[in-house]
Amino acid sequence: MKYTLLDSPLGALLAVRDGTGLTGLYLPTGKRPKRPEPSWDRDDGAFDDVGNQLAQYFAGQRTRFELDLNPAGTHFQQRVWMHLRTIPYGRTATYGETARAIGAPEAVRAVGLANGRNPISIVVPCHRVIGANGSLTGYGGGLDAKRWLLDLERGAGQLL
């Protein structure tokens, strides 16, 4: 595994990839920020594509990412994460809508858990999933980061 730290308006993002694709993109905020594993090798040059696309996203110039992804997760989690990538930029969906969209309408809580275990933040836009009443519910990077990302996508992004 290779990793780097990428500058962003939300702080240094930890990007991780294997030979297949991006396996993780972690915000430095939240209750349990991810740190590089001792077995990983730092390789700043191996993430130019990720860094460029994120810079375009934060500048409001990119609404979709074109990166090879390889997140580790269960079949159910993979289904949820795949669906998250279909939620349009600047829009939100509820956990219930997401459960129905993947054909598991009774699995709202499981969708919430899968959403919370998404290892590739921003690129797999788990920040676009909100509570049924429109509230901003849990986010691994913290609710301030979630609010900031949603505001950015609505054209009103302000630095934290």
d(CA 159, CA 157): 7
Give catalytic residue positions: 126
d(CA 79, CA 33): 24
Handedness of CA 127, 6, 65, 52 (dihedral sign): positive
Facing residues of 26 across strands? 14
Radius of gyration of the chain (CA): 15
The 8-class DSSP code of residue 88 comes to P
